[in-house]
C-alpha cells in the first residue's frame, strides 16, 4: 500500500519506488512535515526527523514545553499568527475581524483511486489501482470551519498531487483572504530556484538562480497564467543538471491569477507555496458553502531535470489530457493567418486549401476574420456567425469542399472578448468587466466579457453550441488576446467583488467542459496571443496549445526547450512559417524550420501559393516524414541534450516508447570559424543493443559514452548560420 498510517505516532508515509513523503500530527493538532525526497525504507517511526528547539526571540505554543514553536517547525499547511511569522498557506477573516485560525486534526481516510474536483481541471485516473488518495480532516472549532487536505500518490510514477477544500459548517460567515493549494517546508536551502518567464514572443525562457534568505516568487495578476510567468517552478540541488541530481518540481493546474513562492527563513528552512494569488482574492463562505483550491502536481527526480520533465510529460499525457484526442495522434495542419490576415474571400480560402491538400496537409484552419463584421481588429468579436459577404456559400460550403479534398476543417474563435463595434456589445454594454465610475481600457480594441455572470456565460455557450451543432467542424483554435483590466462585475454585490477573477475562471472551465462533452470529436487548441495561457488547466480541456506567436525557428529553440521542462511535445503547437520570419525578420532554411517544428504537433503558417515548386516538394517530403515518425515525435520520451541558454549548439532527442526509434535534433545557431571536432552524447539507449544510422551500426554504449561525431563539413550545412540536422537511429538485433 503506497500510503501507510502509523496510529501510535500519528504519522503518514506516502511512498512508491521513487519517493517518500512523510508528515505527522503535531502536539497542537496541526500537521508537520518530516520528509520529502527519495524513497526511505519503512520504519516504525520517523519522528527522529522532527526538529524542535529553543532560539532567542521565539514564541512558544505551550508554557510547559519551551521547545515547541511553529516558527521553527516544518509545517504541512502553514498558518500565521500563533507562533509562526512566515507567509501562510491560508488566512480566514472571521466576523469579529480576527484572522487567527486553529485547525486541529480530526481524522483521515485512505482509499484507492482519485476523486474528481468539481468545476476544476485535475489529474484523473480511470483505474483505481493506479493511485491512492489520503484525505486529512481538520476543524477550527472557533468558526466551525472544516479544512480537508488531499494527497494522491501514483503507484508507478514519482508524482503526487495536493489540494485543499474549506467548508463552513457553522452559522458564522467567514471570508477566505488567502487559500493556496499547497505549502511545503523543507529542512535546508541548498537549492537553485528554477522557473519559466518571458513575454509575448519569448515565452517560457528558463531562469535559474540560487536561493537566498527572504522571498522569491513568480506570479500573475493578469487574469490568465500569462506569458510573463508560467505556473511552474522547481528546486534543484546546485550540482544537479539535465541528467543527474535531485530536483523537486511544482506545477499548478490553473489558468488564472497565481502565486508560486519560495521563502527561506533566517535559519535556512525553505517554504514552498503555490496556488491562487491572494491579492485581489477573497471568498465568502456561508453555512454549507465550500471552496475548493486548484490542484498542484509535485514531481520528485533523482535523475536530473530530464527525469523531472519526463515524469510531468507522462502524467500529463496519461492523466490530464482527456477525451477523444487525449491519446490520439494529432493531424498536420495549415493555418491561413500569416498568409492572409483579415484580407481574404471564399476563392482565396479554397485555393489555399487545394494547395494544402496537394502537399499532404490533413487539417485546414480558417483563422480570424470569418465572422460578423470582422474585416479588421476593431469590430466583430462577440458575433459568432459567418460573414456572408466574405463567404457567400457560408461555412457549410467551405467545409464541404475542404472535406471533399480529404482534409479536416478548423476554425478560429475568441469567445471571451467583445468589440464595441458588435451586435453583442450594442445589445449588452454592461456585460464587460468594468467599473461604472472608471474609464474602460482596451487591448487590441477589445474588452473582456464578464464570464462571472450567468447570462454572459449562457449567451456565449448558446452561440458556440449553435456554431458547432450546425457545422461539421473538426478543430477549434480558442484564442484570448488581452489581459484583464477594470475587473469589477455589475452582476455581483460589493462583498463578492474579490471573487470575480476566480468565478470568471470557473465559468471558462465550465464552458470548455460543456462544449468538449457535447462535441467530443472536435480537437480544441488553446491560444492566448500565442503562449500567454499555456498551462495544465487548459490542457485538461484543450490537449494542445499554440506555443508562441513567434514562429522563428531559432527563437523557438529556447521557447520549446523551456516549455518541455513541464509540458509534453504533443501539447505544443509547432509550425513552419515563411522566411524571412514575420516576427523577427530572420531568414532561416526551410529544413531548419521543419527540423525544429517536428518536435511537437506539426503544421504550417505559410502561403503555399507563393512557394517555389522546389519548396512545395520539400514541404511534401517534410509532411511525409512527419507522418512516418509522428507517434514517436508526439508520444515518445523526450530528452534535452544541449541547452540554447548555454551555447550556440542546441540538441535534443525523442525515443519511441519501445526504444526502437530515436530521433536526434542538432541545431547550430551561429557559425564560429575554425571549430574543432565535437561529439554529442545521447541518453537513454540500450547499452547492449546495436543501432543503425546512415548505414552504419553503433552500440548504445558507444553513442552514449563516446558520443555521436558532429562534423561541420558532414553533418550540418557548412559555413551557414541557422543550420540543423536530424539523426534517425533504429535499434536492430543485438550482436
- Give the residue numbers marked as catalytic: 479, 549
Q: Nearest 5 degrees, angle CA 218-CA 220-CA 222?
A: 160
Cis peptide before 580 (omega within 30 of 0): yes
Q: CA of 578: how far to CAs of 337, 356, 587, 608, in Å?
A: 12, 15, 9, 10
Q: Are 99 and 81 in contact (CB under 8 A)?
A: yes
Reported as half-sphere exposure (CB side, CA atoms, 13 A), residue 511 has a value of 27
What is the C-alpha to C-alpha distance for residues 260 and 218, in angstroms, rounded to an integer?
A: 5
Q: CA of 406: how far to CAs of 70, 321, 395, in Å?
A: 66, 27, 17
Could you list the beta-strand ranges (E) of 556-686: 572-576, 601-604, 637-642, 649-655, 661-668, 678-680
What dihedral angle (degrees, nearest 10) is formed by the CA atoms of 218, 563, 367, 410?
A: -120
Q: Are 348 and 366 in contact (CB under 8 A)?
A: no
DSSP 8-class letter at 294: P
Cell of 191: 537549492
What's the order of all strands across the beta sheet hosting 690-693? 637-642, 649-655, 661-668, 723-732, 690-693, 696-699
What is the C-alpha to C-alpha distance for residues 364 and 359, in angstroms, rounded to an integer?
A: 12
Identify how many contiguous H helices and E strands the chain contains and give both numbers: 13, 38
Sign of CA dihedral 80, 86, 91, 94: positive
Residue among 339, 336, 338 nearest 363 (CA): 336
DSSP 8-class letter at 504: H
How many other C-beta atoms lie within 10 A of the C-beta of residue 658?
A: 9
| 509 sits in which H/E element | helix 500-518
DSSP 8-class letter at 519: S
DSSP 8-class letter at 432: B
Q: Are 277 and 252 in contact (CB under 8 A)?
A: no
Residues 6+ positions from 735 with CB-CB distance below 8 Å: 690
Q: CA of 264: how far to CAs of 49, 72, 210, 268, in Å?
A: 19, 12, 11, 6
Reported as half-sphere exposure (CB side, CA atoms, 13 A), residue 312 has a value of 36
How many other C-beta atoms lie within 10 A of the C-beta of residue 175?
A: 16
DSSP 8-class letter at 187: S
What is the C-alpha to C-alpha distance for residues 148 and 134, in angstroms, rounded to an integer?
A: 10
What is the C-alpha to C-alpha distance for residues 374 and 386, in angstroms, rounded to an integer?
A: 10
- Backbone phi and psi for residue 205, each to the nearest 5 degrees, phi listed first: -80, 140
**CA end-to-end span of the chain:** 41
Strand, helix or coil for residue 265:
coil
Q: Are 570 and 560 in contact (CB under 8 A)?
A: no
Amino acid at each position: 500500500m503506497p500510503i501507510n498510517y502509523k496510529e501510535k505516532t500519528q504519522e503518514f508515509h506516502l511512498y512508491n519506488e521513487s519517493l517518500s513523503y512523510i508528515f505527522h500530527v503535531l502536539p497542537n493538532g496541526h500537521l508537520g512535515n518530516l520528509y520529502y525526497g527519495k524513497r526511505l525504507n519503512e520504519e516504525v517511526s520517523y519522528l527522529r526527523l522532527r526538529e524542535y528547539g529553543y532560539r532567542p526571540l521565539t514564541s512558544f505554543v505551550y508554557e510547559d514545553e519551551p521547545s515547541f514553536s511553529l516558527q521553527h517547525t516544518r509545517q504541512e499547511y502553514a498558518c500565521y499568527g500563533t507562533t509562526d511569522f512566515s507567509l501562510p498557506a491560508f488566512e480566514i477573516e472571521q466576523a469579529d475581524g480576527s484572522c487567527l485560525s486553529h485547525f486541529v486534526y480530526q481524522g483521515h481516510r485512505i482509499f484507492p483511486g482519485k476523486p474528481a474536483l468539481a468545476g476544476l481541471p485535475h489529474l484523473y485516473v480511470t483505474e483505481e489501482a493506479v493511485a491512492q488518495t489520503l484525505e486529512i480532516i481538520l476543524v477550527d472549532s472557533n468558526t466551525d470551519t472544516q479544512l480537508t487536505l488531499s494527497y494522491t500518490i501514483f503507484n508507478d510514477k514519482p508524482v503526487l498531487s495536493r489540494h485543499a477544500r474549506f467548508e463552513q459548517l457553522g452559522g458564522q460567515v467567514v471570508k477566505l483572504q488567502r487559500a493556496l493549494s499547497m505549502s511545503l517546508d523543507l529542512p535546508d536551502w541548498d537549492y537553485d530556484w528554477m522557473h519559466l518567464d518571458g513575454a509575448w514572443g519569448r515565452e517560457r525562457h528558463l531562469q535559474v538562480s540560487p536561493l537566498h534568505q527572504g522571498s522569491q516568487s513568480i506570479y500573475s495578476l493578469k487574469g490568465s497564467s500569462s506569458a510573463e510567468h508560467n505556473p511552474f517552478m522547481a528546486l534543484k540541488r546546485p550540482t544537479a543538471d539535465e541528467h543527474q541530481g535531485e530536483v523537486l518540481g511544482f506545477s499548478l493546474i490553473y489558468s488564472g491569477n497565481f502565486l508560486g513562492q519560495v521563502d527561506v527563513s533566517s535559519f535556512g528552512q525553505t517554504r514552498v507555496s503555490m496556488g491562487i494569488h491572494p491579492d485581489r482574492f477573497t471568498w465568502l463562505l456561508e453555512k454549507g458553502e465550500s471552496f475548493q483550491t486548484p490542484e498542484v502536481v509535485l514531481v520528485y527526480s533523482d535523475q536530473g531535470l530530464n527525469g523531472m520533465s519526463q515524469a510531468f510529460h507522462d502524467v500529463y499525457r496519461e492523466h490530464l489530457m482527456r477525451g477523444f484526442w487525449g491519446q490520439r495522434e494529432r493531424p498536420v495542419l495549415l493555418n491561413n493567418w500569416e498568409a492572409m490576415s483579415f484580407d481574404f474571400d471564399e476563392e482565396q480560402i479554397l485555393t489555399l486549401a487545394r494547395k494544402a491538400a496537394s502537399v499532404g496537409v490533413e487539417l485546414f484552419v480558417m483563422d480570424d476574420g470569418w465572422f460578423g463584421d470582422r474585416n479588421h481588429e476593431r469590430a466583430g468579436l462577440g458575433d459568432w456567425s459567418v460573414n456572408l459577404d466574405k463567404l457567400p456559400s457560408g461555412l457549410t460550403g467551405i467545409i464541404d469542399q475542404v472535406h471533399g479534398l480529404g482534409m479536416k476543417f478548423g476554425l478560429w474563435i475568441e469567445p471571451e472578448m467583445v468589440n464595441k463595434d458588435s451586435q453583442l456589445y450594442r445589445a449588452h454594454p454592461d456585460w464587460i468587466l468594468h467599473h461604472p465610475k472608471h474609464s474602460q481600457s482596451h487591448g487590441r480594441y477589445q474588452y473582456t466579457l464578464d464570464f462571472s455572470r450567468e447570462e454572459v456565460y449562457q449567451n456565449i455557450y448558446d452561440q458556440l453550441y449553435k456554431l458547432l451543432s450546425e457545422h461539421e467542424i473538426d478543430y477549434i483554435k480558442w484564442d484570448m488576446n488581452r489581459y484583464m483590466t477594470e475587473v469589477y462585475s455589475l452582476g455581483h454585490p460589493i462583498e463578492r467583488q474579490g471573487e470575480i477573477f476566480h468565478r470568471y475562471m470557473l465559468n471558462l472551465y465550465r464552458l470548455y467542459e460543456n462544449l468538449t462533452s457535447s462535441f467530443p470529436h472536435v480537437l480544441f487548441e488553446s491560444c492566448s496571443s500565442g503562449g500567454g495561457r499555456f498551462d495544465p488547466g487548459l490542457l485538461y480541456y484543450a490537449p494542445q496549445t499554440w506555443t508562441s506567436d513567434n514562429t522563428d525557428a531559432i527563437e523557438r529553440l529556447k521557447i520549446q526547450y523551456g516549455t518541455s521542462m513541464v509540458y509534453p511535445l504533443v501539447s505544443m503547437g509547432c509550425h513552419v512559417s515563411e522566411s524571412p520570419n514575420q516576427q523577427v525578420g530572420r531568414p532561416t532554411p526551410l529544413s531548419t524550420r521543419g527540423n525544429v517544428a517536428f518536435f511537437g504537433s506539426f503544421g504550417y503558417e505559410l502561403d503555399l501559393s507563393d512557394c517555389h515548386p522546389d519548396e512545395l516538394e520539400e514541404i511534401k517530403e517534410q509532411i511525409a516524414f512527419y507522418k512516418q515518425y509522428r507517434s514517436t515525435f508526439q508520444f515518445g520520451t523526450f530528452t534535452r541534450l544541449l541547452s540554447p541558454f548555454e551555447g550556440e549548439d542546441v540538441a535534443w532527442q525523442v525515443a519511441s516508447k519501445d526504444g526502437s526509434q530515436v530521433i536526434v535534433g542538432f541545431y547550430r545557431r551561429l557559425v564560429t570559424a575554425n571549430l574543432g571536432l565535437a561529439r554529442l552524447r545521447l541518453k537513454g539507449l540500450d547499452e547492449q543493443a546495436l543501432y543503425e544510422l546512415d548505414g552504419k551500426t553503433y552500440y548504445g554504449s558507444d553513442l552514449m559514452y563516446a558520443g555521436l561525431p558532429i562534423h561541420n563539413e558532414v553533418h550540418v550545412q557548412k559555413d551557414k548560420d541557422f543550420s540543423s540536422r536530424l539523426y534517425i537511429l533504429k535499434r536492430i538485433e543485438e550482436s
